[in-house]
Chain A
Amino acid sequence: MSAFRTLLRKETVQLLRSKSALATATLLPSLLLLFAPLSLLATLVDVDQKGWVSVLPANFNPPRGLVGMERDSSVIVRFMLASLVSMGGLVVPAVAASYTMVSERESRTLELLAALPVTIRQVLTAKLGVILAMSTAVTSAMLALDVAVVLRLQMASVGYALSLFPLLVAALLYSTASALLISLLARDFRTANQMGGALLGPTTVVAVWVLAFGPPGAPAVLILAAIFLAAAALALYVALRVVTFERLLR
């Protein structure tokens, strides 16, 4: 356990010294989890109900998850907030995780760690663990602020607000697990970024689809969280059992 703690300490020190990783870890979530939702709230909170309805077509038939949006702007607030939480969870750790793992292989510093009495699994777990912990801390704090504002404005129930936290954690887990798989498959950081981008698009579409067409309220959020967790488990299984860490040392 001491060896693993030593690795965790090393990764923490390196992450805190990396300006680009810190910028990614604070700027992206600030944009997705603070600026975007709070701007949306500021816009919608003063919208007149008639004014809101007037922008929609007369025969507008909203999808299942957005029923009532023509009367109640808080429906769209909840939909947007859950979408942004998903995106924040998907984007924030992915770049840092891919970068730290691929750069360790590209710069051959992984050889230094492979020479020590630790397994490659311990090395990568320490790396991903630190990134996941930092991403969770930063994004959860921002989500807590959003939730406080939404509850204060009575735009969501407490149950719905709380369901956003498991969604965020599940999205972060999926993002980290898929970053691990991509890092094992990609030859370099550029390829890893391209693969990450290619995966993000369809994942975001699925997330928005579940929120829009799933059952209204917290159940859709929890279903999406379950989907992210299942995808994370699948990505981990493929990374550990099919691709394997040996790929990093070939």
Chain B
Amino acid sequence: MDLSSINPVLLVASIMVSATPILLAAIGEMVVEKSGVLNLGVEGMMITGAVVGFAIAVNTGAPGWGFLAAACASAALSLSFGVLTQFLLSNQVATGLGLTLVGLGLSSLIGKPYEGMKSPTLPKLDLGPLSDIPVLGRMLFSHDIMVYFALALVAGVWAFLKFTRAGLILRATGESHDSAHALGYKVVRIRLAAIAFGGACAGLGGAYLSLVRVPQWTEGMTAGAGWIALAIVVFASWRPWRVAVGAYLFGGVTVLQLNLQAAGANVPVALLSASPYIITILVLVVISARGHHGAPASLGRPFHATT
């Protein structure tokens, strides 16, 4: 094995890129769960975002439109989950799993004509002097806009939940929907908004995969990223900055194992490919062993106003 073939500068730079789609999906799902809804359909929404974003970007030639369309399409898909679980009171776990299956099927249908095509991709942002800093500039300040948008979104979500009244109401809804209802807050409306936000974020994450990270459409290309996003929310104990840490950790392991494969590490390739998932499971087990870790108290419980 030749470890010297791994360039630390490129390694860090590619970690940032590979973490971004999971970060986007995870921060959206965290908001959904904070409102008390467990949407297991992240994978389905991501891949829908990936295919819609790719198709629109190819047809318009503008990746920006691709991202926008991806966010809208996934938000719309998530709202179908919202209607089923919030109005028709279907089981959230089953409906979320169904949403994943629908998303996977729908995406391969839409994506068939686009296989093997190449899409326009996002330009690297020119951050002027920042990008020119030796080493650091190459590592941190020479990425496309979505990398920074994802981080800004984490900061925004953090500030929203911590400082705004709307954020407080959202947290309260996830904590006890009965109490929130008794105080006159519109539980269903708040949750639908959160679900749509989570869907849009997952869509952006998916589009980032197909437009920047790969950039190509292949069937099933999310390859479990949505599930990892779900796991990261638990790993992060429902805290925004820890979501970022979790996403970068997972991104880091993914990139590192790719680099190790390329460097010819003396470990079976299958094991290396599986390592990000194994590490995610291990971290989750360790975190869960601590017991109480701050899950919203109403998470996954159906709400029916008994007036």
**B and A form one assembly:** no
Q: Which residues of B contact A (CB under 8 A)?
A: none
